Every structure is written in C-alpha cells, then in structure tokens.
Amino acid sequence: MEKFKIAFIGLGLIGGSIAMRIRKKFPDAEIVALNRSDATLKSALADGIINNGTHEIDDSFRNCDYIFLSAPVDTNISFLEKLKPFLTEKTILTDAGSVKGKIHKAVNDILPDAHFIGGHPMAGSEKSGYANANDHLIENAYYILTPSDNVTDDEVENYKAFVTKLDSIPLVLSPKDHDYVTAAVSHMPHIVAYSLVQTVMETDSPEEYMKMIAAGGFKDITRIASSDATMWEQICLENPENIRILIDEFMQRMRRFDDFIKDANGSELHKSFDEIKNYRNSIRDGRKGALPKIYDLHCDIIDEAGAIATIATILSTQGISMKNIGIIHNRTYEQGALHIEFYDEASKSKASQTLSRHGYTVFPD
C-alpha cells in the first residue's frame, strides 16, 4: 500500500470529502490540513481523517506528494506565494475549483515551476462545510484534470491512476475546454434555475397560488437554486465569457420556442420536444455528472392515516435510511403520491425492491 503524504488547504465539503476518500482507500496516508476554523480541524482529527491540522502553511507542508487547494478560488490563490518553499520536484499541486482559467493563470504567474494539475471533481451538493462531507461523494464521479504545461505525461498518468484508485473517473481536458463545458452543463443551469424560481417569485398572485403548487416537481427541477449564493457569485464572475455565450445560446432557443408558440406552430414544437427528449434519454445515467444527483423514488400509497408510518417502518426494518419523505400534492412531473429521497443509489435500489415486494407500485425515475 502506497504511503502518500498529502496536504489540504480548505477542508470543507469538497476538501473534506476527498480527504475522507483518501483515508478510506489509503489508510496509511499522512494527511495534513490547513483550515480557517478550528472546529473543522478538531472534527477531522477526531474522525481520524487528518494527522495534523494547522491555520498557517508551516513545516508540516514539507515533502508532500500532493497538495490540494480546496478552499474558495481566491483563498487558494492567496496561499500560492507561501507554498513556494514547500514544493519539490515530486510534489503535484492540484485544486478542486469549479473554474480553471483563473487558478491556472495565478499558478503560472506565482509558481511557474510548480507541477500543477488542476482538478475538478464533478460531485457536490447544495450544502457546504466539513460537516456535510462524506467518503463517497467523489465515488463514481467524473474528475476533470487540467494539467499545466510543466507537467510530464508520466505525472498525468500517475495522477490519473491515483484518481482512479479513489474510484473517480479521470477525464483530461484543457482549462479552456473545461470552462466552456462546465459553463454549459453546470454554471448556466444554475442561472436558469435561479431565473425560474425568480419568475415564480415575482409573478405570483397575492394568494401565492404558484408557490403553493410549486411543491414537488417544480421544487425538484429547481433544486440547484438552493446552492450557496457566495460560491455561485464567484463562479459567474470567474467564467463570465463562457457563461455569457451560453446564456445567449439559451435565449436564442427560448426565442425560437416563443416564435413557435406565437405562430401556433405545433409541428415544430412537437419535432423539437421529440428530438430533445431523445437526446436527453441518451445521456448516460449511473455516473455522477456536473450537477449533484438525487436518489429518489415515487410510490403510490392510499391517503389514509398511518400510510407513511407503515412505509417508514418497512424501510427502517431493512436498515434503509431516508433523507426525506413526503406526500406530493402536485404530480405534474411524476407519478406516485409519495416521494422518498435517499442518501445513495444502493439505498434507493434496496428500497425499491423492498416496497415492490410489499405490494407497492414504485416509480423509480
């Protein structure tokens, strides 16, 4: 078993989850973390995830195989100068940021000799902080790597092998391609979700009928509008050109739909919806992508006293934990009156089999 030495700057949702995964897969690794709050460091020490916690870059950063920059991007950049004396020929410097252009430029300017491989695990959550980190967040998730020019092919291959051993799926892209692709499948969808919710918020009647029936499907499809406002403000300002190109592409399509509806052009609407449906259905499922995945199912129940309690009991006797359970009053987007959300795919699948065995009709997708 390899005995790596690894340091983290920032041990929140992403840094904490990567550190937990490393601890699980490489129990002998020496893990050092720099973090702002003491509480996080104390928890990580108590959990046995890190061996050493600090608030400053100090001698514990010497001789690292990997240094992960996993604080917000500007914070990561503010530490680069101080890292200079601690980087050796064998140290791979990496990050976890959602936008790659800015960090590549900063590393190039401040640490031109660093062996820097940008990294972006395609995994996350609307929640933040070490308290929400877990050891399976990056499992089965694409992990985009953006090597800088200083890095050799061997170093890239070794880092890909390391990421693969964490059970993530490495994908090498240039920083430029990364920022365009993620603008389309992550950054712009957040803006669309924020806009959809804002449309309801600002056009609702005084009785708030829209808000009332938005429960269920509408809330599900706009889930990412609950993401951290500070993080998304930063992402939008770090990747403005790409996001603006894609907002423009999106608006062109909205205007096209508007024209079809204005002209009562049913055949073009139908053709577009059909093509889009086929394309969407061809998107591979089962892996984690750019947006956090939910593990949920819908199930038909008779609306009578104790119906939810019965289901909760059946699932708990099988050791299945639920994240959320509730009756859906607006079923425009899905079948089944009861919506249940789980923490992972295995729990969802076991729940689906268990409930079917008990005679319930389950709608998994």
| Closest to 231 in 3D by CA, of 68, 40, 82, 96 | 96
Q: Least CB distance from residue 269 to ligand NAP, whole Å?
A: 34
Number of residue whose CB is nearest ligand NAP: 12
What CA–CA distance (Å, rounded) separates 354 from 311? 10
Q: Least CB distance from residue 291 to ligand NAP, whole Å?
A: 9
CA torsion 148-88-164-147 (nearest 10°) is: 0
Q: Least CB distance from residue 349 to ligand NAP, whole Å?
A: 24
Rg (CA), the chain: 23
* Tokens 């499907």, located at residue: 217
Q: Least CB distance from residue 58 to ligand NAP, whole Å?
A: 13
Q: Report the alpha-carbon angle 326-328-333, nearest 5.
A: 130
Name the residue nearer to ligand NAP (CB basis): 34 or 351.
34
Residue 263 token pair: 């002209």
Beta strand residue intervals within 109-202, DSSP E: 115-121, 142-147, 169-172
- Partnered with residue 342 across adjacent β-strands are 295, 322
Name the residue nearer to ligand NAP (CB basis): 50 or 340.
50
Name the residue nearer to ligand NAP (CB basis): 66 or 360.
66
Name the residue nearer to ligand NAP (CB basis): 35 or 91.
35
What CA–CA distance (Å, rounded) separates 223 from 329? 18
| Closest to 157 in 3D by CA, of 108, 211, 92 | 92
Q: Least CB distance from residue 36 to ligand NAP, whole Å?
A: 3
DSSP tag of 187:
I
Name the residue nearer to ligand NAP (CB basis): 120 or 136.
120
3-state secondary structure at position 315? helix
Give the sign of the dihedral formed by CA 155, CA 159, CA 165, CA 171: negative
Q: Least CB distance from residue 5 to ligand NAP, whole Å?
A: 20
* Interface ranges with ligand NAP (CB under 6 A): 10-15, 35-37, 40, 70-73, 75, 96-98, 120-121, 124-125, 128-130
Name the residue nearer to ligand NAP (CB basis): 79 or 360.
79
Q: Least CB distance from residue 121 to ligand NAP, whole Å?
A: 6
Name the residue nearer to ligand NAP (CB basis): 37 or 335.
37
Between strands 362-363 and 338-342, the pairing is unpaired
